[in-house]
Structure 1
Amino acid sequence: MGYKVFSSRSPAPPRTNSGERGLAAGSGGGGGGMDRWTGVLNVPLSRGGPPFRVAASLVLTPAKTLAVPCANAILFTGDRVRGSGDPAIERLSDAAYLARLLAGKLTGEANAWVVDAACFAGSFAVYRDLVPSVDAVGDPERNFALTFFFVNIQSMVTKATMKGSSGNQSPTTSLLKYCPPKTVILGFSKGGVVVNQLVTELACLASESAKISDDVSGSSPPLLTRNLLVPISATEFLSSASEFHYVDVGLNHAGAYITDHAVIKEIANYLMHTSKNLCFVLHGTPRQWSDPNRSWIQMEKEVMLRLLQDEAQRCEGRLVLSQKRYFDGKPRSLLMHFEILEVMDIG
């Protein structure tokens, strides 16, 4: 792909002739104005398959190479809204803008990633590659596509940034000390189905929690896995998750939130047998939580919240949850559904 440059300070970077965003290194949101690499990549998950459009805002070292982050925040977007006529909705539908917006909400040396679905049925996002079918007993098929997905991203970003660097450093050699980054996972609107998938897969690993702990907390990780931008194995990826944010999620049928007690119970068991903490935050607006035509969204949210509350009581403070309402008292609108991305508190 061709690379164009824009300033990450600008509220809406200009489009290139191809319609893609360019790449930039400049001071951006998050981490007290540190230098960041900002760009958009088309990332294939499988040979011949449609690429995912991924926007990123990544921390740079003083030498302008990619820094090893303390955390990766990954936002999965929802359906497309075309021709709304509202500039705010159009702006908040743009992955590149959202990557910079998300970066501005993060603290420390954290990277922001925004992932659009690879396929759309008209305006509807289809996350078929990341959310597979269930098996004969209803459990999700073990799908660790995200691991390979972000390894592909790391390779592409490294090549792109090294073109503009005076040195030959890469993320695997720029720092001597390895500190596995945490992962903050956010799903907006239909992107919540990916969050559900990852929570359920983490629950499936509960019985292997001792192995996860050994893998991640080992004193000397293999040389080839040090100083990577993202986890490079399924176990590392799932066990790196520290926060799950449901951001005004909703579907036109049941399934927006997890209502299976067995899944939430296994998450609690996982936390009880490891030294990890996990945070769930449910963000919502009247658009989803007060929709009389989709009352199941509110009902499912209340069920998940109750299940989390019940299991949190036996986790000795390791399972933290909160519910955050936005625009209460205002008439339901499509605009508030998108504006939650600007006002949401993920601190």
Structure 2
Amino acid sequence: MDRWTGLLNVSLSNGCAGPFFKIAASLFLSPSKTLAVPSINAIFFRGDQVEGTGDAVVERLSDSKNLLDTILLKFQNSAVNAWVVEASTYNGSFAVYKEMIPTVNSRGEPKGYDPIGFPATSSIVSIISTCINQIQDQLSVNTLKESIPPASSSKTIILGFSKGGTVVNQLVTELAYLATQHASNSLGTDIPQISDCCMFPTSSEGFLNSISEFHYIDVGLNCSGAYLTDKSIFKNLNNYAVNNDKYIRFFLHGTPRQWCDPYRPWIRQEKDLMLHLLSEECRSEGKLKVIERLYCGDKNPSLRMHFEIIDVIDLS
């Protein structure tokens, strides 16, 4: 099946005002060359910029278009729409996701994860919706614009690489907060399963409800906060999953580069605690699933393996 693939620059204001996010996207097309409804939207968040290493693997996987191609190969499914998102702001090499995580400092390091206002969720919905509108406008130049049927079963898979894992943490926190909001509002235990858009959800709630998997890909920071360690977050998520009869899977993918760093021992400590907390919730009801995978475990830590994990990662 044919695909539309390209690079876009979009702002949250959907206009000429910045800051702009650089997005690499690949969307599959119907036989009439119009956008078709995906079964999965896979959204990959990049980390810091790395340039001039001279390593072919690092240089290749530092390019968003190459990342996009690599991600698509993992799914082997023509019905997947894939998105690679770069931070709008870089302080030198540091990625700063300040619109999605308002607590980050000038190096993009979070002081914490505050779900109030759903900053990451609302930003992502705005960015992807703008991308889809731009792509549809391009396609409509040569083809008739067709109506797209609803896609209530479309799922979203979130992938965060390196510092991109901070966005994953923010989204997990916002989903857990959404569950508590519905409970406190006495709207019953069920959270409405919103299908508010055919290509991609247009509301924060619809987007959060569509997420089925979170992938942490060799995440790490020069401070604490690479993984979530608040027990209440996972308890709220488990209650949400049980009440809505859905499964949410967490994948913790890592290499010795992050998990065995003697100068940053907190990364492994946080990872182990998050794994423990998730495992406890898995045993209680079975709606949350957690899988831990170590890659390049027989090699010495290196920058190359940090990027090489993207090539060898198992997303199944």
Number of residue pairs aligned between Structure 1 and Structure 2:
299
- 1:12 corresponding residue in structure 2: none
Of 232, 235, 243, the residue aligned with 1:265 is 235
Of 189, 196, 199, the residue aligned with 2:162 is 189
TM-score of the pair, normalised by structure 2: 0.90
- 1:238 corresponding residue in structure 2: 208
- 2:293 corresponding residue in structure 1: 324
- 1:167 corresponding residue in structure 2: 144
Q: 1: distance between equivalents of 2:144 and 2:188? A: 39
- Deviation of residue 168 (structure 1)? 2.6
- Deviation of residue 54 (structure 1)? 0.3
Q: 2: distance between equivalents of 1:104 and 1:274? A: 31
The 3 A distance-change label for structure 1 pair 201 and 214 is closer
Of 287, 291, 314, the residue aligned with 2:284 is 314
The 3 A distance-change label for structure 1 pair 70 and 123 is same
How much identity, in percent, do the aligned residues show?
46
8 A Cα contact 2:113 2:173, kept in partner: no
241-250 or 48-57: bigger deviation:
48-57
Q: Where in structure 2 are the equivalents of 1:20-35 lying within 5 Å?
A: 34-35=1-2
Deviations 1:272-296 (A, max 9, x none): 2112110000000000000000110
Deviations 1:220-255 (A, max 9, x none): x6xxx452x211101000010000000000000000
- Deviation of residue 154 (structure 1)? 1.4
- 1:19 corresponding residue in structure 2: none
The answer to whether the aligner puts 1:334 opposite 2:282 as a matched pair is no
The answer to whether the aligner puts 1:141 opposite 2:119 as a matched pair is no
* Partner SS state of residue 237, structure 2: helix
Q: 2: distance between equivalents of 1:265 and 1:302? A: 17
The answer to whether the aligner puts 1:97 opposite 2:97 as a matched pair is no
* Partner SS state of residue 331, structure 1: coil
* Partner SS state of residue 152, structure 2: coil
Of 171, 192, 196, the residue aligned with 1:198 is 171
The answer to whether the aligner puts 1:153 opposite 2:120 as a matched pair is no
The 3 A distance-change label for structure 1 pair 89 and 167 is same
The 3 A distance-change label for structure 1 pair 38 and 166 is same
Q: 1: distance between equivalents of 2:3 and 2:232? A: 41
Deviations 1:3-30 (A, max 9, x none): xxxxxxxxxxxxxxxxxxxxxxxxxxxx
* Partner SS state of residue 215, structure 1: coil
* Partner SS state of residue 90, structure 1: helix
The 3 A distance-change label for structure 1 pair 293 and 198 is same
8 A Cα contact 1:248 1:284, kept in partner: yes
8 A Cα contact 1:74 1:184, kept in partner: yes
- Deviation of residue 105 (structure 1)? 1.0
Q: 1: distance between equivalents of 2:211 and 2:154? A: 9
RMSD: 1.9
Q: 1: distance between equivalents of 2:188 and 2:313? A: 35
For structure 2, the residue ranges without an aligned partner over 5 or more in a row are 105-111
Deviations 1:154-202 (A, max 9, x none): 1112112223x43232xxx14x453341100000000000000000000
* Partner SS state of residue 244, structure 1: strand
* Partner SS state of residue 251, structure 2: strand
The answer to whether the aligner puts 1:119 opposite 2:89 as a matched pair is yes
42-51 or 240-249: bigger deviation:
42-51
The letter of the residue matching 1:259 is: T
202-211 or 48-57: bigger deviation:
202-211
The 3 A distance-change label for structure 1 pair 293 and 226 is closer
- Deviation of residue 213 (structure 1)? 5.0
* Partner SS state of residue 154, structure 1: helix
8 A Cα contact 1:92 1:338, kept in partner: yes
8 A Cα contact 1:100 1:112, kept in partner: no
Deviations 1:41-64 (A, max 9, x none): 001113622100000111111111
The 3 A distance-change label for structure 1 pair 52 and 138 is closer
The 3 A distance-change label for structure 1 pair 277 and 138 is closer
Runs of 4+ in 1 over 4 A off after TM superposition: 209-214
- 1:346 corresponding residue in structure 2: 315
8 A Cα contact 1:132 1:141, kept in partner: no
* Partner SS state of residue 313, structure 1: helix
- 2:50 corresponding residue in structure 1: 81
